[in-house]
A and B are shown apart, each in its own frame.
Chain A
Amino acid sequence: MTTQTTEPFAGSPRWFELAAFTGVWKRETTLFRRYWVSTTFAAVVEPVIYLLAFGFGLGSLIAVMNGIPYIEFLGTGVVATSVLFTSAFSGMFQTFVRRKFQATYDAMLAAPVDVHELVTAEAGWIATKAGVYGCAPLVVAMFFGLDPAPGMLVVPLVGFLTGLGFGLFGIWCSAVVPSIDSFNYIISAVITPLFLVAGTFFPVDQLPGWAGAAAVINPLYHCVQLVRHAAFGFEPLLDVLHVGVLILFAVGMWLIAVRYMRKRLID
């Protein structure tokens, strides 16, 4: 004990410190070493099922959608579904369990970590997972005939950015719901419409006008568009707009998630 002393903190505390971030990530990576097999299994098997069921089922009726073979239309669209599920569910359930049942965040906040750093680190990890696992449907779709394209290299980044927003959305929800059962409302009323009306399974211009307009404010729609453009050719002006919407979404969600988590964690 006497041979070591506490490291003195130099200067005034910075607003955001890397050490807080790496501390939270140390925990995540340690846990992930235990979970990666099941996570990877789910990430790969789910899109396979989607592609088999919809691709062969619906695909036998619809050969081509918006000039793209349906199975490829679907394979690129399911990336967004994957990203949404990975990020929103992690944000909701994991965050809730860690805050409420395991009191993990209470333990961390007693150490030199602040709520905004904790939320950023958790969301960053969720987004990274979403970015990586979001590529799984694309890889699966290649086995169904999707041609690899250099533009696809940006898909992990699109997945990260989208996952950041939806991860933070999940974290915010976890701070709002009174109990874990309440997530049912969010899943049925928010998540399900979000993933159905995003151009994943069918183009949004098939929808009545109001629903089409609603799709445009759905962040997931912008993710779907970016992934399709990455696979079949970018449309630079439009794509900048899509990225802009996703950045706005992530920033907005960050502000709300931090605010509500702080309310829940600091008396």
Chain B
Amino acid sequence: MTARLQEQQAAGEEGAGTALALRGVVKRFGDITAVDHVDLIVPQGICLGLLGPNGAGKSTTMRMITGQAHLDAGSIEVLGHPVPAHSKHARAEMGVVPQLDNLDVELTARQNLEVFAHLYRVPRARRRDAVDRALRMAHLVDRADTKTDELSGGMRRRLLVARSLVHSPRFVLLDEPTVGLDPQVRQELWSLVDALRHEGVSVLMSTHYIEEAERLADEVAVMSRGRIIARGTPAGLRDAHVGREAVEYYGSPDRLGEVETIAVEGGLPTRRTGPSVSVLRAEHMPESTAALLGAGARRASNLEDVFVSLTGETVE
């Protein structure tokens, strides 16, 4: 074992190798339990995708991590700082990209970053450099002096990310970073998040876009109705829950119903994919079943298959 690895392991045992630890976290709003005994560990240096449908409790979890929502039970540690007791330490060392754009529209891109350089206590001597660096990362150097409400949607989103990086945080929270964005803009943002990951910044990113989690996340935690119901690498989750391949069959509603019956008799799970039925675990499809089903479109299975299978929205 190399010295460095030993060092990392020792650090891990002390909890210093953990960017985020949630243990038994509960949050209730009246009778509704929004977050229901969530355990979630994010090791340092990885991007963890928190995947779940709207209303699964992702944003509430994010707000508890920043101390903007109280815990009803459990504990949270961010970079070793207990939250909410030392929430301010935690906030000083992490960056937060909110779901809703809350930039100051009356300020320029640079002024927005300057305000947060102050709030994040970047020392005076380094403030200008920090702002310039954040502008470079977000490719906004040419727009530094443009008022925020004159920036395009994509630029604003990049500025929002830049604002969370102005103090060089070791851990960044991204709450639905690309919700409602054009595909082109989404690509830009993805490369920005990817760049962060390559610099060793730990990331917790909530999303309900499966493709986003598939592309960016080293690991995925699936959240549904306030609980974490699965955790693993995208490939690992795929293998464990839906197999490697799926075959899609199109046809009339009657035909789709028939496909489902045949597949289930052959011991294979299915799910509706819009106008088609996807038969999962297709690599294990018996010859007889394949013969009965006829021609279909074979494809690799994806996280969406996992997600729908797990969150129980499959039409059986």
Contact = CB atoms under 8 A, between A and B. Distances in A.
Interface of A: 1-2, 4-7, 9, 12-13, 17, 19-20, 22-24, 26-27, 30-31, 34, 102-104, 106-114, 265-267
Given A20-B119, A104-B104, A107-B98, A26 B114 contact: yes
Given A111-B91, A113-B119, A266 B68 contact: yes
Nearest to A28: B115
B119 A23 contact: yes
B214 interface: no
A31 B107 contact: yes
Contacts of B273: none
Contacts of B129: 4
Interface of B: 27, 29, 60, 63, 66-70, 86, 88-89, 91-93, 96, 98, 100, 102-107, 111, 114-116, 118-123, 126, 129-130, 133, 163, 167-170, 199, 201
A9 B122 CA distance: 11
Contacts of B67: 109, 266
A110 B67 CA distance: 8
A112 B117 CA distance: 11
Contact of A13 (B27, B68, B69, B86): B86
Contacts of A27: 104, 107, 115
14 contacts: A1-B199, A6-B167, A6-B169, A6-B170, A7-B122, A7-B123, A17-B88, A27-B115, A31-B107, A108-B119, A110-B68, A110-B96, A112-B119, A266-B67
A111 B119 contact: yes
A102 B102 contact: yes
Nearest to B106: A31
B121 A7 contact: yes
Given A27-B115, A30-B111, A106 B88 contact: no
A121 to B, nearest CB: 10
Given A6-B170, A13-B86, A267-B27, 13 more contacts: A1-B168, A1-B201, A2-B199, A7-B121, A20-B119, A23-B120, A106-B98, A107-B102, A111-B120, A112-B89, A112-B121, A266-B70, A267-B68
Nearest to B92: A112
Contacts of B170: 6
A107 B102 CA distance: 6
A34 B201 CA distance: 37
Nearest to A266: B68
Contacts of B92: 6-7, 9, 111-112
Contacts of B104: 27, 31, 102, 104
Contact of B115 (A19, A26, A114): A26
Given A6-B167, A23-B118, A102-B104, A114 B68 contact: no
Nearest to B121: A19
A2 to B, nearest CB: 7
A112 B88 contact: yes
Nearest to B97: A110
A102 B105 contact: yes
A102 B148 CA distance: 13
A267 B60 contact: yes
Q: Which of B105, B114, B116 counts the most A-chain CB atoms under 10 A from its CB? A: B116
B93 A110 contact: no
Contacts of A112: 88-89, 91-92, 119-121
A114 B88 contact: yes
B167 to A, nearest CB: 6
A109 B68 contact: yes
A15 B167 CA distance: 22
A107 B163 CA distance: 10
A113 B102 CA distance: 16
Contact of B114 (A13, A30, A31): A30
A7 B199 contact: no
A6 B116 CA distance: 14
A22 B118 contact: yes
Nearest to B64: A267
A104 B102 contact: yes
